[in-house]
Structure 1
Amino acid sequence: MRVLQINAVYEKFSTGRNVKEMHEVMLSKGIDSFIACPDLDKLRKNAYRIGNKVDWKLHALLSRVSGKQGYFSYFATKKLLNYIGQINPDIICLHNLHSNYINIPLLLTYIAQNNIATVLVLHDSWFYTGKCVYYIECSCNRWKKHCGDCPALKLGNPSFFFDKTEKMLADKKKLFSYIERLAVIGVSQWVTEDAKKSILKDARIIQCIYNWIDLECFRPRDCSELKHSMGLDDKFIVFGIAMSWNSQKGINLFHELADLLPDNCKIVLAGDDSSIQIKHSNVPAQ
């Protein structure tokens, strides 16, 4: 079996680590695993680098001017399709495609025409919205029917002038409908249930598969010394973890919760909080 994963990053952040670990495990199991990412900075086994810095920046500029994301990088995507033709994968896993590096219509049309089994991994909401990675930022549910009049036009990948969200969602619906063997895998129950109400609802498989946990590292152990060093003896602890804390990760909600909890309850957050300008005195971070 041959499997190709496409993602915006490799090894970095949660999605990049997910791709790397899947790639390495598949190779160890004798599966012919391949990766295609724009940020590969060195040669790796069975790896393909998509585009270059000039192409990515031009794509980002055209996206902001036109209001359409994922419609550029034509030549970089054509080269990727040539690579796909050479390795002839049985399955293509699509992770994050929303980083201005790939032409979505070209890629999905190629997949449909060649009847390649395809897995969409929902790390966020982008695959079933017009442009939003996290639609909850603006409490918008237009994606359930059609987008347009977008309240998040200036968020995420912003548009300077035009609202093309209705067209982008309609294009995604049409392009995904052409892929006969489509599976949708959510990394949480939340996005999985969303997918069942979205343009992806007709996929052959819609299933939640959580990201794995390294039980060698994350296992029960005596933390009394750590709790004592943090002044948390005999406290009920609410623990939150993220790679980096910001409003999208719910830092504001944790701060609000800290004001409501009684004295015997404390919130502890793990992750980088360097981007938080105002830190709550009752929320220690590690």
Structure 2
Amino acid sequence: MKVLQINSTVNSGSTGRIAEDIGHFLLQQGHESYVAYGHGNRPSSSRLFKVGNEWDRRMHGLKSRLFDHHGLGSVKATKNFIRQVEVLQPDLIHLHNIHGYYMNIHGLFEFLGAAGIPVVWTLHDCWPFTGHCTYFDRYACDKWQQECHHCPNIHGYPQSWLIDNSRSNYRVKNQIFNAVRVMTIVTPSQWLANHVKQSFLKTYPVEVIHNGVNTDVFKPLDAPGAGGRYALNAQNYVLGVANVWDTRKGLGDFIRLRGKLDASIALLLVGLTRQQTDGLPKGITGVPRTESVEDLASLYAGAGAFVNPTYIDNFPTTNLEALACGTPVVTYNTGGSPEAVEKGVGYVVEKGDVDGLALAVRRVLVQGAAFRVNCRLKAENFYDKNDRLQDYLALYKRLCAVASHQTVYDGLQN
């Protein structure tokens, strides 16, 4: 079986690492794996296809900002990529994030609709069924259920400076995304699955396949981990991890949390820029984003609690990584984030309740030993990467079988 995945990044960030893990697993099982991507230069076990170049990406970004036409740029880059796909002739195409200023959705879905290749589309956010935004719950907006217009989040990613084309974008997506014959939509969370079933994508089958983590890498440690290099006491610091720390990820709430905890409890944030690190108050250590999963696992394992004060999210892999390391999770009641957190592995707090975060952290630090075994078991039973990769492989085989039967049927009809 020859599988082509398409994602904005390669082997970087949560979606890039998911695609990389799937590709590596396919190769182990004797299949062929290819990954097409928009930007980044990380190595991969799969054969790579770069879509466009930096100039094209900049022009696509400018078109998005000036005309709210995200996904409608990169025409030539997409045409060139489609020619490569036609030569490759994959048995199945797996879409991840097709937003990110690199892919023209008209060109891509015109090809998918005509080619008859089975498609899996893992939605990592809500962009595929809205007229603009990746998440709408920040504004409690439900226009996407009927038709987007007058978008309240026009300045959110993918940002438009002046024009609101959410109604037109919504109609375009509705038309072209519903033109694929054999497609299954996968969501990492039940929360997102429920939303898809209320959207214009509801005609497609929807399956929930949770994100998985490598439980051989993300695991509890007997000795103090990487936190030691930052002069942090083992199991007495609170950890936060994000690819990009901003208001959406709760950076301001983390800073407020500092003032509500005892001074002996250190806070460590991973993924900050130099400017953000320089602005941190005393008692919070900031470090840049790391591509080393071993270092990251060590930081998780050494922490007394993992705090994820995210305001907008789908099914954060960071929660799963913390659980696999035996570290209890405290998170806001946001999207699918609470789905991995139940009694005995952490606490769920309402958005913006920093006092609630502080109370939950104190409880976790006092009862840490009782939580740690439960956290690890939860990760092993539900979020082991190999189990979830088997789910994807089973789905691939099923869709390819359906496509094969359809091809035979079409041939008999002709």
TM-score by length of 2: 0.60
* Residue equivalent to 2:209: 208
User: Aligned in 2, Cα 1:161/1:273: closer, same or farther, shift over 3 Å?
Assistant: closer
* Residue equivalent to 2:116: 115
The one-character-per-residue Cα deviations of 1:185-212 (angstroms, maximum 9, x if unpaired) are: 22233323322222222212332322x2
SS at match of 2:8: coil
CA distance in 1, matches of 2:264, 2:172: 49
Determine if contact 2:68/2:164 at 8 Å carries over to the other structure: yes
Determine if contact 1:8/1:38 at 8 Å carries over to the other structure: yes
Determine if contact 1:122/1:186 at 8 Å carries over to the other structure: yes
Instruction: Give 1:38 deviation, angstroms.
Output: 2.5
* Residue equivalent to 1:272: 271
Instruction: Give 1:264 deviation, angstroms.
Output: 10
Determine if contact 2:7/2:98 at 8 Å carries over to the other structure: yes
CA distance in 1, matches of 2:111, 2:139: 34
* Residue equivalent to 1:245: 245
CA distance in 2, matches of 1:267, 1:108: 49
Instruction: Give 1:134 deviation, angstroms.
Output: 2.8
Determine if contact 2:7/2:37 at 8 Å carries over to the other structure: yes
* Residue equivalent to 2:94: 93
CA distance in 2, matches of 1:43, 1:17: 11
Determine if contact 2:68/2:159 at 8 Å carries over to the other structure: yes
1:230 aligns with 2:235: no
* Residue equivalent to 1:168: 169
Instruction: Give 1:256 deviation, angstroms.
Output: 4.4
* Residue equivalent to 1:28: 28
Identity of aligned residues (%): 27
CA distance in 2, matches of 1:201, 1:115: 20
Determine if contact 2:3/2:90 at 8 Å carries over to the other structure: yes
User: Aligned in 2, Cα 1:239/1:160: closer, same or farther, shift over 3 Å?
Assistant: closer
* Residue equivalent to 2:195: 194
* Residue equivalent to 2:178: 177
Determine if contact 1:195/1:206 at 8 Å carries over to the other structure: no
SS at match of 2:108: helix
Instruction: Give 1:266 deviation, angstroms.
Output: 5.3
The one-character-per-residue Cα deviations of 1:155-196 (angstroms, maximum 9, x if unpaired) are: 222223321111112221222222122222222333233222
Instruction: Give 1:259 deviation, angstroms.
Output: 5.1
Letter in 2 for 1:36: A
1:38 aligns with 2:52: no
User: Aligned in 2, Cα 1:40/1:249: closer, same or farther, shift over 3 Å?
Assistant: closer
CA distance in 1, matches of 2:257, 2:193: 27
* Residue equivalent to 1:106: 107
Unmatched runs of 5 consecutive residues or more in structure 2? 288-414
The one-character-per-residue Cα deviations of 1:69-98 (angstroms, maximum 9, x if unpaired) are: 111222211111111111111221111121
TM-score by length of 1: 0.84
Instruction: Give 1:285 deviation, angstroms.
Output: 5.0
Determine if contact 1:118/1:181 at 8 Å carries over to the other structure: yes
Letter in 1 for 2:79: K
Number of residues of Structure 1 aligned to a counterpart in Structure 2: 282
SS at match of 1:38: strand
Q: Which structure shows the bigger proportion of residues in helix conformation?
A: 2
